[in-house]
Amino acid sequence: MKKVPVLEIFGPTIQGEGMVIGQKTMFVRTSGCDYRCSWCDSAFTWDGSQKPDMMKTDEIVDRLNDLAPGRYSHVTISGGNPALHEGIGHLVQTLKQQGIKTAVETQGSTWQEWMLDIDEVTLSPKPPSSNMKTNWQQLDFYVERLKEEGKGQASFKIVIFDIEDLKYALAVHQRYPHVPFFLQAGNEDVKEADDQSVRDRLLTKYEWLVDTVTKSEDFNNVKVLPQLHALLWGNKQGV
């Protein structure tokens, strides 16, 4: 059984983004990413500023139970890119055996077979503002595999900063029209310390996005969301 590089474990909190927004959940955040998004709000997982602990499944589960004994039934695995780590498969199996649901957040650049055991897979390919390039064949593969019978739900969640990002989101939406589709307002300053100004800025961006989408003929069956946790707690880590 392979250990997993864990950057932080926190919760209970609420899932602040995407298809199960509002869901009470714990977070396990892994370290390391194969991307370097210009606006990454979790750069501490890959920029060397914070060090991970190499953890076994039992140690991760013990930590979850210490933090929230009897107070959780849902665990979200994020990063970094958690799909770099084969060892997460054992954690997912163990949580499942205990009746705990799991969700994962990934950009969809690397595949792991344990994806098939996750209840909610959020795929978040990156728009031009990130400066990253999408591997469309790899994304095709993801969507194809996650369609298999009896698997959890998959959805797309694309972060939007500008019109170019919306054009990219449209290309994703049109390529995979049957996959539930979420647009998320981008946070332009992930270092801003004043919660109220983060809130004001995010709401302004969210309003722009809602306004643009409601006027568009391209995005009819989409959901538009802010990062709820950022509205509540600003740029704070571990919430």
Ligand X SMILES: Nc1nc2[nH]cc(C(=O)O)c2c(=O)[nH]1
Ligand Y SMILES: C[S@@+](CC[C@H](N)C(=O)[O-])C[C@H]1O[C@@H](n2cnc3c(N)ncnc32)[C@H](O)[C@@H]1O
Q: Residues within the annotated binding site for substrate?
A: 14-16, 29, 78
The span from the CA of 215 to the CA of 209, in Å, is 10
Residues annotated in a binding site for [4Fe-4S] cluster:
33, 37, 40
Task: Give the nearer residue to ligand SF4 in terms of CB position, either 61 or 158.
Answer: 158
41 near ligand Y, rule: CB under 6 A: yes
Strand order in the sheet with 153-160: 53-55, 4-14, 24-30, 74-78, 101-106, 120-123, 153-160, 181-185, 223-225
Smallest separation, CB 218 to ligand X (Å): 26
The span from the CA of 172 to the CA of 86, in Å, is 27
- Structural contact between residues 183 and 219, judged by C-beta atoms closer than 8 angstroms: yes
Near ligand Y by CB under 6 A: residue from 31, 107, 134, 155: 107
102 near ligand X, rule: CB under 6 A: no
40 near ligand Y, rule: CB under 6 A: yes
Smallest separation, CB 78 to ligand SF4 (Å): 8
- Nearest alpha carbon to residue 123 among 176, 188, 69: 176
16 near ligand X, rule: CB under 6 A: yes
Q: Which does 226 bind (CB under 5 to 8 A by kind): ligand X, ligand Y, ligand SF4, none?
A: none
Residue 80: asked if its preceding bond is cis (omega within 30°), the reply is yes
233 near ligand SF4, rule: CB under 6 A: no
101 near ligand Y, rule: CB under 6 A: no
- Structural contact between residues 167 and 195, judged by C-beta atoms closer than 8 angstroms: no
Q: Which does 36 bind (CB under 5 to 8 A by kind): ligand SF4, ligand X, ligand Y, none?
A: ligand SF4
DSSP letter for 47, please.
S
Query: In this structure, are strands 101-106 and 53-55 parallel, antiparallel, or unpaired?
Result: unpaired
Query: In this structure, are strands 181-185 and 223-225 parallel, antiparallel, or unpaired?
Result: parallel
The span from the CA of 4 to the CA of 121, in Å, is 19
Q: Which does 229 bind (CB under 5 to 8 A by kind): ligand SF4, ligand X, ligand Y, none?
A: ligand X
Looking at residue 189, its amino acid is D
What are phi and psi for residue 126, nearest 5 degrees?
-105, 130
75 near ligand Y, rule: CB under 6 A: no
Near ligand Y by CB under 6 A: residue from 13, 15, 25, 42: 42
Smallest separation, CB 172 to ligand SF4 (Å): 15
Near ligand SF4 by CB under 6 A: residue from 13, 76, 107, 184: 107
Query: By the criterion CB under 6 A, which residues form the site for ligand SF4?
Result: 33, 35-37, 40, 42, 45, 79-81, 107
Query: By the criterion CB under 6 A, which residues form the site for ligand Y?
Result: 33, 39-42, 78-81, 105-107, 124, 157, 159, 184, 186-187, 190, 227
